[in-house]
Structure formats: structure tokens, C-alpha cells
């Protein structure tokens, strides 16, 4: 499965496997759980993207609707008003890959037209399955995330991952999305308690059975606060610790708010993995 060339829209691609890749979070929302309201103005959003790229982010993930528990839904027009000008500006400003964090088919299509290379869907193409057609028709990379929201979960966390994500992969295949354009995400924090999140980390290697590389997003999540006792803004070190563990267990992309600390932590994990590969040869 790895190394892996992830094919993206607009002729772009990312090499995955030998080196960790970091996706910087750019929330253009007033109510996100840790950075709501900080980057709602265009100039501040672009400055934050510049900062994350300078710190080493390979991807900037642009979101216009908070996905925190209990977050207020946003109309599609408002989501698009928030994200499209930023994506258009970033496409002219940075060389890093651009991702749109949305579950809406229309927003995804407009975002890719504006310059986004990746569609990152927190509902795994199961809320608006047409979003998979957008990826198929535009050649965008597609991230299919697991969620436990609004449904009954299986008792075993890994069995539930397989059940949900297998259906997401079926939807993508039916829409014509090439397998080399797809990544999966276990959806840390999405209708999962602290114990469930920790169990997914402990058993992460089992997810390789799905046959698709994984992006992970533990950044500043509540379960990190549960373990460390830290508030969201102080969960960077705890996030970096989860990044290292998950890297050693096979994850390839890390969606984070605090880019620099995760870049350094993942450089150590990559060095350990490279040393282990060299020792085997």
C-alpha cells in the first residue's frame, strides 16, 4: 500500500509513506471549538495559511462550518461565502496543496473550481453521496472520514470503522473515484468518547485491513484534554504525542492546528521508521 502517490485535482499529487505529511487547519468559522473567530477576515486567514506553510504544512484545510459537538449548522451559501474567496486567494498565493473541509456536493464543486485539490468530507460521502461524483469528475483527492453521529454504532470500535468506511468506499467506487485518489480518516472525536478514541489509537494497525492510507485528526480534541487536563489551546504537545504514536502505527497525514510542534515530533518518528527500514536491509 505504501509508498503511495496520492492523485489530486489540477494535476497535483503528493508522495505518501516515507515522510509524514502535515495538513494545517484553517477554520473560517466564528464557533470552532478552539480557534473560532480568529481567522474570519480574509487577511488574517491568509496570514495564518502563510504561517502554517512556513512552518512546514504540506496542505491547508479550509473549513467554513464548525464540526464541533453541538455546533450550529450553516447554510450552504454562508459556507461558500466564507471559504471560496480564501481558496481563490490561496491558489494564487501558496504552492501548498489546498483542501476543502465540507460534506456538501455544491460547496466541494465550487471549491475545486476555485483551486482546491482535495475534498475532505467528515460524513464519508454518506450525507451527500454526490460529493463523490465531484471527486470523480474533477480528479480531486477525497478524504472519507468515519463518524458515529446520527446512527447506532457497533460495540467494537474497529468493527464499526470497517462497517462505516467500507460503505464510504463503495459509494466512492460507484461514483467512479479512482482508488489512488482516496484516503480514509478514523474520525477521532466524532461521537466517540475518550476510551473509544484511545482504543482506536491502540488498535490502529488493524485499520490497514481496509487497504487505503489514513489521514488522522486528533488535534486539540477533547480526549487529549481528558488525558492531560489541558485546555484546547494548550493541547499542542498532547496532539504531537498522538501524532507520533499514530505515525509509528501507519498513519501518513496529520491534520493539526499547531504545525511546528507536530513537524518536529513527526521528524523523529520518521527517523525511527527510516532507521528500522535500513536495519532490515
Active site residues: 221, 255
Q: Taking the chain, what is the end-to-end CA distance rounded to the nearest angstrom?
A: 19
**Cell numbers 515522510: residue:** 19
Considering only CA atoms, which of 228, 220, 218 is closest in space to residue 254?
218
3-state secondary structure labels for all residues of the chain: CCCEEEECHHHCEEEECCCCEEEEEEECCCCCCCCCCCCCCHHHHHHHHHHHHHHCCCEEEEECCCCCCCCCCCCHHHHHHHHHHHHHHHHHHCCCEEEEECCCHHHHHHHHHHCCCEEEECCCCCCCCHHHHHHHHHCCEEEEECCCCCCCCCCCHHHHHHHHHHHHHHHHHHHCCCHHHEEEECCCCCCCCHHHHHHHHHCHHHHHHHCCCEEECCCCCHHHHHHHCCCHHHCHHHHHHHHHHHHHCCCCEEEECCHHHHHHHHHHHHHHHHHHHHHHC
CA–CA distance, 235 with 43 (Å, rounded to integer): 26
Q: ∠ CA(214), CA(194), CA(144), 5° rounding?
A: 25
Amino acid at each position: 500500500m505504501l509508498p503511495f502517490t496520492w492523485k489530486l485535482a489540477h494535476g497535483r499529487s503528493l508522495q505518501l509513506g516515507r515522510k509524514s505529511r502535515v495538513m494545517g487547519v484553517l477554520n473560517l468559522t466564528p464557533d470552532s471549538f478552539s480557534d473560532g473567530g480568529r481567522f474570519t477576515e480574509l487577511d488574517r486567514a491568509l496570514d495564518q495559511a502563510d504561517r502554517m506553510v512556513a512552518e512546514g504544512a504540506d496542505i491547508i484545510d479550509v473549513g467554513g462550518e464548525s464540526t464541533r459537538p453541538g455546533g450550529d449548522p450553516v447554510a450552504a451559501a454562508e459556507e461558500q461565502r466564507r471559504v471560496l474567496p480564501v481558496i481563490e486567494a490561496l491558489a494564487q498565493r501558496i504552492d501548498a496543496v489546498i483542501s476543502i473541509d465540507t460534506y456538501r456536493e455544491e460547496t466541494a464543486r465550487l471549491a475545486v473550481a476555485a483551486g482546491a485539490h482535495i475534498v475532505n468530507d467528515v460524513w464519508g460521502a454518506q450525507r451527500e453521496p454526490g460529493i463523490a461524483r465531484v471527486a470523480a469528475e474533477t480528479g480531486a483527492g477525497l478524504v472519507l472520514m468515519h463518524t458515529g453521529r446520527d446512527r447506532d454504532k457497533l460495540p467494537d470500535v474497529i468493527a464499526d470503522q470497517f462497517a462505516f468506511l467500507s460503505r464510504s468506499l463503495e459509494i466512492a467506487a460507484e461514483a467512479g473515484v479512482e482508488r489512488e485518489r482516496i484516503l480514509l480518516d478514523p474520525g477521532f472525536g466524532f461521537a466517540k468518547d475518550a476510551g473509544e478514541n484511545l482504543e482506536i489509537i491502540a488498535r490502529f494497525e488493524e485499520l490497514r485491513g481496509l487497504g487505503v492510507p489514513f489521514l488522522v485528526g486528533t488535534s486539540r480534541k477533547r480526549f487529549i484534554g481528558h488525558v492531560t487536563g489541558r485546555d484546547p489551546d494548550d493541547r499542542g504537545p498532547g496532539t504531537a504525542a498522538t501524532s507520533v504514536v499514530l505515525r509509528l502505527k501507519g498513519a501518513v497525514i496529520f491534520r493539526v492546528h499547531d504545525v511546528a510542534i507536530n513537524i518536529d515530533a513527526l521528524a523523529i518518528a520518521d527517523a525511527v521508521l527510516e532507521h528500522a527500514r535500513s536495519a532490515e536491509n
